[in-house]
Amino acid sequence: MRVTAPGTPLLSVRDLSVSFRTEAGLVRAVRSVSYDVAPGEVLGIVGESGSGKSVSSLAVMNLLPGHAEVTGSARLNGQELIGQSDDALSAVRGSRIAMVFQDPLSALTPVYTVGDQIAEAILVHETVSRGEAMRRAVDLLHTVGIPNAAQRATAFPHEFSGGMRQRVMIAMAIANRPSLIIADEPTTALDVTIQAQILDVLQTARRMTGAAIVLITHDLGVIAGIADRVSVMYAGTIVETGSVDDVFYRPRMPYTLGLLGSIPRADAGERQPLTPIEGTPPSLINLPTGCPFVPRCPMAQDICRREEPGLLPIAGREPADTQRAACHFKDDIEQRQLTSRDIFPAPLPSSDAVRSVPREQRQQMLVVQDLVKSYPQMKGAVLRRKVGEVRAVDGVSFDIREGETLGLVGESGCGKTTTIMEILNLGRPASGHIAVLGHDTARMSGAEKFGIRRDLQVVFQDPMASLDPRLPIGEILAEPLRAHGVAPERVSARVRELLTLVGLRAEHVNRYPAAFSGGQRQRIGIARALALEPKILVLDEPVSALDVSVRAGVINLLERLRDQLGLSYLFVAHDLAVVRHIGNRVAVMYLGRIIESGDVDEVFDRPAHPYTQALLSAIPLPDPHKERARVRIVLKGDLPSPANPPSGCRFRTRCQKFANELTEPQRQRCIDESPALLPRTGSPDHLDACHWATAVEVL
C-alpha cells in the first residue's frame, strides 16, 4: 500500500477548466473546478446532464478527445496529471486510478473473454506470469459476486447481463488495488434491484482495497447512501459542497434546495407537493456573467446578475465546517433556515373531487383481462419453423376507473411496454380481452377503432424521439386534430389553447422541437396527447428521460391535468418513487405477470410479495440517515429469460423468502404451483401472487 501523510489529500484538483470548440461556439464544459479527495473517502459528484460532472473526471484521467482544451491542475499524491503525456499517464491509469464507466456493454471488448481482459489489466502494470494473472482474475470475479467464477472467466462479455458486466468492470478496476476509483454513473443503465447489487459490490471493493471513490451520478438517493462528502455541480462549476449530512439537511444554495425538494420520495406517505425548478439548465455556450442559476432562481437580485458568487464557507459556522456554497444569499438562507418550499413556489394540492366517489361506483375506463402476448421463436434459415414461444405478457389483468392513476411498475424485460403496446394497437389479443370504455377491442370495426383513438392517447418516454424533428410544434399539435376532421379554423385556436394548457407560450407555435429543452418537449408531447380531449392517457415512462430538476414540473403538470380534465392514467414506470407520488393504484409486474396490485399507499407501506419488498428496499432514498440505517434486501442474480421461465412461481429463483425462510415442503409448493393473484393480507383490494405472502414494512 502506498502511504500518505494524514490530512494530505489523495487527489487534489485545482482550477480545472475544460472547453470545447464546436460549430456553435466555445463550450465551457467545466469552469474552474477545485476539490480534494482524501484517502479512502467517497466523494459524490452530483449534477444534471451537461453540468460537467463527467467531463471534469475524464479530464483528470486525460481521457477527453484531443480537441478539448484543459487547464488547471490535478495532483494525485502530489504528482501532476494534467498536461502529462499519454505514456506517462498510462502508468497511473488502471493502477493508481481506475475508472468504472456507465455503459458496461461498450466498456468491455467483445472479442476477448472477461478473464483475459482482467488478466490483461493486471499484466499491463505488474510482472507476473499469465497463469498467475488469470488466477487472480478468477479471484476478483469471485470477489465481485460472479457465481462459478472459474468457469465464467472463460466466457465472453455478451454472455453476461448488464449487471454482471458492471461487476466485471469493477473487478477490472480493483485488479491493481488502485488508491482511487472514479465511477461515472455506474448504475444509471441498470434496474433498481441490480443497482442495489452493484452499489453493494462497490462498497465491498472499497473495503477490500481501501480505495477512495469519486462517484458521479445524477441520483441523489445513491449519493445519500454511499458518499461521505458531496459536491453539487451546475453549469460546469461546483455550486455547493460539504458533508453528505450538511448538503442534504442544510443545503444553502438555492439549486441544491430546489433539487432536493423536487424529487418524489418513495417513503412519503402523505403526498407532498414537489417544488419544481422552473426553466432549464443554461447552455454552456456564451454563458452570461453572473450566477448561472439566475434565470431559474426565485431569490435572484441584481448582484446575482452582475457577479458570479464564489464557493465560500457559510458565516457563523465552526471553522472546521467543510460546507461551501456559491450563492450571494447563502448566509441569509442559513440565518432564516429557509427550505425549498420557502424559496420555490409549490403548486397548491389538487382537488380529489372525482376520486372522492367510492371506486366501485366510478366508471371502468380500461379493463384488461388475462391478456397474453407471445412472440414465436423461429429456427432455421431457409425453412423457418416455430420451435417455441416467448410469452412476454402472460395473463395480465387490471382495470382503471375514472379519474385514477394506475402505476404499472417493473424492471426492464418484465413486459410492461408490451402490455401497453397491445392496448394501444387496439387489436385482437392472442388470448384475453381489452376493453376501452366498455368496448371490446376484439370486436371493433376499423371505424370504431378510429373513433376510440380519440379517447385513448399516449405520451412516450423519450421526448426527443416522440416529436417529429421536421415539423414545427404547431403542426405537430395540429396533426391529431386534422386526422379527426376538426374544422381548420378551430385547429389554430385549439393549438394555442393546448400550448397554454401545458404551460408553454402560444407564440412558440412556429418553433421546431430542436428549439425546446427535454422538459418542454415532454410538455408538447402531453399537449399532443390531450389535443382530442381523451379520457384515458397511457404514459410510458414520461419523466424517466428528463433531468431531475425538470421532472417535478412535468409530474406536477400531469397531476394538475388529471384533476382538472378528469383524466385516467395508465402510468408505466420503473421509478417507484414517481409512481408513489402520482399513482392512486399500483400493479407490480415480474416476468410477464402482475405479482402484486392494490392501493398505492397500501402496497408501498405493507408490501406482501417478496419481489415488491425487494424492489422497494432497493430504491435509494435521498435521506442519508434513513439510507444508512436501512437493511437492504439484495436480490440474487438476474431476471430469468422469459423464453424459459421457472416452473411454478416465476420469482422463486431469486426469492429471498424461498431461499431463507421457507421449509422444504413449502418450497415444493412454490416449484409446483403457480400462485394466483389473490387477496391474502386482509384487505380485499390488495392482491398478491405469493403462496406465503406476509405484509412487511421495508421503507
> How far are the Cα atoms of 402, 433, 467 from residue 368, in angstroms, in the given order?
15, 6, 29
CB of 691 to other proteins, least distance (A): 39
Reading the block at residue 605, the C-alpha cell is 407501506
DSSP code of residue 175: T
Distance CA 328, CA 407 (A): 42
Q: Applying CB under 8 A, does 453 fall inside the site for other proteins?
A: yes
Of the pair 51, 237, the CB lying nearest other proteins is at 51
- Cβ contacts of residue 421 below 8 Å, gap of 6+? none
Sites for other proteins among residues 68-107 (CB under 8 A)? 102
Reading the block at residue 363, the C-alpha cell is 366508471
The strand pairing partners of 646, in sequence order, are none
Phi, psi of 216 (to 5 degrees): -100, 125
DSSP code of residue 103: -
Rule CB under 8 A: choose which of 20, 112, 156, 375 binds other proteins: 20
Sites for other proteins among residues 273-332 (CB under 8 A)? 282-286
Residue count, binding to other proteins (CB under 8 A): 56
CB of 536 to other proteins, least distance (A): 12
Of the pair 333, 498, the CB lying nearest other proteins is at 498
Of the pair 9, 282, the CB lying nearest other proteins is at 282
Q: Which stretch binds other proteins (CB under 8 A): 331-339, 447-455, 556-564, 582-590?
A: 447-455
Q: What angle do CA 653, 658, 662 make, to 5 degrees?
A: 155
Rule CB under 8 A: choose which of 116, 184, 394, 411 binds other proteins: 184
The strand pairing partners of 572, in sequence order, are 408, 540
Rule CB under 8 A: choose which of 83, 388, 469, 566 binds other proteins: 469
Q: Applying CB under 8 A, does 215 fall inside the site for other proteins?
A: no
By CB neighbour count within 10 A (0-12 exposed, 13-18 middle, 19+ buried), where does 683 fall? middle
Q: Applying CB under 8 A, does 450 fall inside the site for other proteins?
A: yes
Q: Which stretch binds other proteins (CB under 8 A): 333-341, 478-486, 550-558, 571-579?
A: 478-486
Q: Applying CB under 8 A, does 373 fall inside the site for other proteins?
A: no
Q: Which stretch binds other proteins (CB under 8 A): 19-27, 330-338, 394-402, 621-629?
A: 19-27
Neighbour tally for 410: CB within 10 Å: 26
Q: Applying CB under 8 A, does 33 fall inside the site for other proteins?
A: no
Neighbour tally for 32: CB within 10 Å: 17
The strand pairing partners of 187, in sequence order, are none
Handedness of CA 606, 193, 687, 603 (dihedral sign): positive
Rule CB under 8 A: choose which of 124, 334, 512, 637 binds other proteins: 512
Distance CA 335, CA 331 (A): 6
Which residue type, as a one-letter code, is found at position 34?
A: S
Q: At what angle do helices 192-209 and 162-173 cross, to 10 degrees?
A: 10
DSSP code of residue 438: T
Distance CA 407, CA 576 (A): 9
Q: Applying CB under 8 A, does 462 fall inside the site for other proteins?
A: yes
Q: Applying CB under 8 A, does 511 fall inside the site for other proteins?
A: yes
Helical segments of 349-395, H only: none
Q: Applying CB under 8 A, does 54 fall inside the site for other proteins?
A: yes
Sites for other proteins among residues 379-418 (CB under 8 A)? none
CB of 457 to other proteins, least distance (A): 7
Rule CB under 8 A: choose which of 334, 389, 479, 497 binds other proteins: 479
Distance CA 611, CA 588 (A): 9
Q: Which stretch binds other proteins (CB under 8 A): 160-168, 431-439, 504-512, 619-627?
A: 504-512
Q: Applying CB under 8 A, does 468 fall inside the site for other proteins?
A: yes
CB of 295 to other proteins, least distance (A): 8
Rule CB under 8 A: choose which of 27, 45, 211, 537 binds other proteins: 27
Q: Which stretch binds other proteins (CB under 8 A): 20-28, 296-304, 387-395, 589-597?
A: 20-28
Q: Applying CB under 8 A, does 510 fall inside the site for other proteins?
A: yes
Q: Applying CB under 8 A, does 55 fall inside the site for other proteins?
A: yes
Beta strands in 318-402 (DSSP E): 324-325, 364-379, 385-401
Of the pair 423, 621, the CB lying nearest other proteins is at 423
Phi, psi of 368 (to 5 degrees): -120, 125
Bridge-based pairing of strands 536-540 and 568-573 is parallel
Rule CB under 8 A: choose which of 40, 347, 395, 472 binds other proteins: 472
CB of 266 to other proteins, least distance (A): 27
CB of 102 to other proteins, least distance (A): 7
Could you report how far apart the first and last alpha carbons of the chain are, in Å?
A: 40
Which residue type, as a one-letter code, is found at position 438?
A: G
CB of 571 to other proteins, least distance (A): 17
CB of 473 to other proteins, least distance (A): 10
Phi, psi of 81 (to 5 degrees): -105, -30
Of the pair 95, 461, the CB lying nearest other proteins is at 461
Rule CB under 8 A: choose which of 8, 49, 363, 377 binds other proteins: 49
CB of 257 to other proteins, least distance (A): 24
C-beta of residue 391 within 8 angstroms of C-beta of residue 592 = yes
Beta strands in 86-211 (DSSP E): 97-100, 180-184
Distance CA 123, CA 175 (A): 10
Rule CB under 8 A: choose which of 442, 515, 671, 678 binds other proteins: 515
Which of 610, 649, 607, 653 lies closest to 633 in space, CA to CA?
A: 610
Q: Applying CB under 8 A, does 23 fall inside the site for other proteins?
A: yes
Rule CB under 8 A: choose which of 418, 457, 556, 617 binds other proteins: 457
Sites for other proteins among residues 481-500 (CB under 8 A)? 483-484
Residues in touch with other proteins (CB under 8 A): 20, 22-25, 27, 29, 49-55, 58, 65, 67, 102, 184, 282-286, 424, 450, 453-454, 456-458, 460-462, 465-472, 479-480, 483-484, 508, 510-512, 514-515, 517, 525, 528, 532
